Chain A
Amino acid sequence: MGFEEKRVIMEVQKTALYNYHKNLGAKFVPFAGYEMPIQYKDGIVKEHISTRTHAGFFDVSHMGQFFLEGDETLIESLEKIIPADLKNLKINHSKYSFLLNNEGGIIDDLIITRTEKGFCIILNAACKENDIKQISQFLKKHHKHLLNNDLSLIALQGPKSVEILEKLIPGVANLKFMTGNNFEYDGENLYVTRSGYTGEDGFEISISNTKVEKLIDYLISNKVKPIGLGARDTLRLEAGLCLYGHDLNEKINPVEANLKWAIAKKRKEVGGFNGWEKIKNLLANGSKKIRVGIKPDGKVIARENTKIFSSDNNEIGFVTSGTFGPSVNAPVAMGYVKSEFSEVGTSIQLEVRGKKYGGKISELPFYKKSYVK
């Protein structure tokens, strides 16, 4: 896990739940300018397994909850930087997408949801300030926008999530994957989507900072464990999901990232977004390198920046995320290789501490997703 902080942060920020985490025995690390729990008393493996077998909650309030309001022209503005089909996105439906630069590179990956008055975009914590600058270039004066810091964001993930949350907030069980709605809780409105970053069924709950402790009290009384960034990383990697700043960055485009499925079909044909010329060409001809899953043959862990070699010893790529997958019960990794070596089953070598270890290109995800569609 590379949780290193690349930007210089003047002041460390804390989420509304900071003291709550402390009381739960959290170990904190600086992450994207925030003091965030990396793990609690149980440790990463137990946290990971309890999310897969019961349910876990994650404080992801460091992520940006960015709200936009406007008329039809708001859609035109956003579609210049986001390659999703926002015109045809229904109210309360969400899409995974990106902000793209002029070269088609990924400025950030995000979830965008259509709301009654516009859109809500969930942005990565380390990117959110720059993201807003980039989006703002395309906005018109009458478009309103707000990064709402009065809201916490709680992910509830795992097979028991639906049963537990439905008891507290009736109606959430009717949500399908990647849709959301407004609900009432304790006299306040909150917004719940059925989504997540673990490969499990679950929800993300946007709730005011003043009510979030009460929600967590309820979850804990239902044996939902707190889950830190450590297990968040092992869970998302097993599910084959990218971590921005590691698997994705501004020099990587969605075709190289093997995420072309996330560019809307209509947008692929018609274009009209940043970097389209380049992406159109890559869609037609393929990219030189591509993101793949990697399984080392033995127990060795190929972490970020591990060099990848072909079976005849030519350097062909590098690892961008690598760890031990507790549910796979083996090491797992993702990385970029030259496209001709990207076929599943291709034998590769991984250079760890100066020694070469065997491995194979693997299918993604490593762990079967169980979303409710």
Chain B
Amino acid sequence: MSEKKFSKKHEWVSLDGDVATVGITKHATEMLGDIVFVEVPDAGKAVEKEGQAAVVESTKAASDVYSPISGEITEGNKAIADDPGSVNTDPEGASWFFKLKIKDKGEYDSLMSKDEYDKFCKENPS
């Protein structure tokens, strides 16, 4: 597995060969609050970079989850759809959202590093 990269929309990506794993960041879960509903994409669905790919809802509101990278979905994480609260406990580990086969590794390379993302969050508090 490669190092995690981060998007401005608070998703993380890790890469294993040409298969990327995508989830939402700890910072995102802290902003959302208690997560009570998750919808993940089915295998075979094509997603564009920054296109809507999944849905996450907290007690407060519904939010779209975007794919920071384009490709074809190979798996949605059904475990988090069954237990949405698990996203709050392990957002950057077991509670990933989906995996996809990527087309362009350049999209991954252009994302933020951990340090860059932490700085981005500090500069853009919401």
Is B2 interfacial (CB-CB < 8 Å)? no
Measured between alpha carbons, how far is A44 from B57 in the docked complex, in Å?
13
- B19, CB-defined interface residue at 8 Å: no
Contact: A353 with B84, CB < 8 Å?
no
Q: Known: A1-B60, A299-B84, A303-B62. Contact between A43 and B33, CB under 8 A?
A: yes
Q: Is the CB of A299 within 8 A of B33?
A: no
* A257 at the B interface (CB under 8 A): no
Q: How far is the CB of A133 from the nearest CB of chain B, in Å?
A: 33
Given A299-B81, A299-B84, residue A45 in contact with residue B59 (CB < 8 A): yes
Interface readout for B42-66 with A: 1 if CB under 8 Å, 0 if not? 0000000000000101111110000
Which residues of B from 94 to 117 have beta carbons under 8 Å from A? none
Return A202 CB to nearest CB of chain B, in Å. Answer: 21
Q: Within the complex, which residue of B36, B37, B55, B61 is in contact with A1, where a contact is CB–CB below 8 Å?
A: B61
Convert A231-275 into 0s and 1s, putting 1 for each residue whose CB lies closer than 8 angstroms to a CB of B: 000100000000000000000000000000000000000000000
Asked whether any CB of chain B lies closer than 8 Å to the CB of A55, the reply is no
A198 within 8 A of B: no
Which single residue of chain A is at the shortest CB-CB distance from B38? A299
Complex contact B37–A300 (CB within 8 A): yes
Q: Does A159 contact B (CB under 8 A)?
A: no
B34, CB-defined interface residue at 8 Å: yes
- Counting chain B residues whose Cβ lies within 8 A of the other chain, the interface size class is 10 to 19
Residues of A within 8 A of B59 (CB): 1, 43-45, 230, 234, 323-324, 326
> Considering the chains assembled together, what is the distance between the CA atoms of A301 and B37 in angstroms?
7
Contact B55 A324 (CB under 8 A): no
Q: Complex formed: what's the CA distance from A353 to B84 in Å?
A: 18
Cα distance A234–B61 in the bound complex, in angstroms? 13
Docked pose: A43 CA to B84 CA in angstroms: 16
Expressed in whole angstroms, the Cα–Cα distance for A43 and B34 within the complex equals 7
For residue A238, give the distance in angstroms from its CB to the closest CB of chain B. 12
B37 contact from A39, A45, A230, A331, Cβ within 8 A = A331
Contacting pair B57 A301 (CB below 8 A): yes
Which one, A38, A39, A301, A353, contacts B36 given CB within 8 A? A301
User: Most chain-A Cβ atoms within 10 A of its Cβ — which of B34, B59, B84?
Assistant: B59
Listed residue (A38, A299, A303, A331) with the most chain B CB atoms within 10 angstroms of its CB: A299
Residues on A close to B: CB < 8 A? 1, 38-39, 43-45, 230, 234, 299-301, 303, 323-324, 326, 331, 353
Closest 8 pairs between A and B when the two form their complex, measured CB to CB: A324-B36, A45-B34, A44-B59, A43-B33, A299-B37, A301-B37, A43-B34, A301-B57
